[in-house]
Amino acid sequence: MLHHPSYLIRRGNVFYFSRRVPFDLQSQFNKDRITISLRTNSRSKALNSALTMSERLEFYMERLRLEKFHTRELGLELEQTANSNPPKTDISLETALTDYLRLKGGSRNKTFHQSSVRNFGYLKGCIGHDQLCQISPTDAGKFRDFLLNRGLSSSSVRRIFSVVRQASHVLQLVLCR
């Protein structure tokens, strides 16, 4: 039987939902533990409420992680200002995908190639341009929301970001700096 943590505590006759803030998100919160009264003394009602609260909190924390992820892990920076030097060379998403498949896809199966093409198609369709160096943190946020609005789970969104990041990060570091 699969056990889901309930994060229940009892104070007197009332149940509370209590959960520590994960270490990687503590800078986003003003305390290290979230404690909320479930306003019931019934254990079964408290378990149902705690499960719902836990799912909602997990979704919220996942969104916070993705915010941090798309700015740091994707290697995205603030858009270039007029005074800064323009990138030396720009590269299209198509070229990034081709290079990624050439470098990483040699011994991989057909599914790897199909999912990579699909993921880059999602990105291109969402942001509306095809230049790697023009991708901004705003674009990454739009892309994340685009994928979530398609009904994809947060783990699928992370997987898609990982593929796009792997392909674009090295090329962006080399070509856009």
Same domain assignment for residues 85 and 115: yes
Cα separation, 7 vs 4, in Å, equals 9
CB 38 within 8 A of CB 11: no
Task: Inform me whether the pLDDT recorded for 100 exceeds 90.
Answer: no
Q: In whole angstroms, how far apart are CA 8 and each of 17, 22, 38, 75? A: 5, 17, 9, 39
**Sign of the torsion angle spanned by Cα atoms 102, 103, 104, 108:** positive
Q: What is the pLDDT of residue 73?
A: 56
Same domain assignment for residues 55 and 77: no
Which residues fall within 8 angstroms of residue 124, CB to CB, at 6 or more apart? 93, 130
Same domain assignment for residues 53 and 122: no
Taking only the tens place, the pLDDT of each residue in 32-87 is: 899 999 999 999 999 999 988 888 888 888 888 777 766 665 565 444 444 444 44
Domain count, the chain: 2
Which residues fall within 8 angstroms of residue 138, CB to CB, at 6 or more apart? 79
- If you average pLDDT over residues 118-139, what whole number do you get? 80
Cα separation, 148 vs 141, in Å, equals 11
Same domain assignment for residues 82 and 158: yes
Q: Which long-range contacts (CB under 8 A, 24 or more apart) does 155-158 make?
A: 157/66, 158/66, 158/69
Same domain assignment for residues 81 and 140: yes
Q: Where are the alpha helices (DSSP H) in the chain?
A: 43-72, 93-104, 110-127, 137-149, 154-175
**Domain around 157:** 73-175
Tell me which of 60, 82, 97 is where a domain ends: 60
Query: Is 158 domain-assigned?
Result: yes
Cα separation, 89 vs 95, in Å, equals 13
User: Which contiguous run of DSSP H or E holds residue 18?
Assistant: strand 14-20
- If you average pLDDT over residues 76-102, what whole number do you get? 61
- If you average pLDDT over residues 157-174, what whole number do you get? 65
Q: 120: pLDDT confidence band, cut at 50, 70 and 90?
A: confident
Residue 21 in tokens:
């803030």
Task: Inform me whether the pLDDT recorded for 15 exceeds 90.
Answer: yes
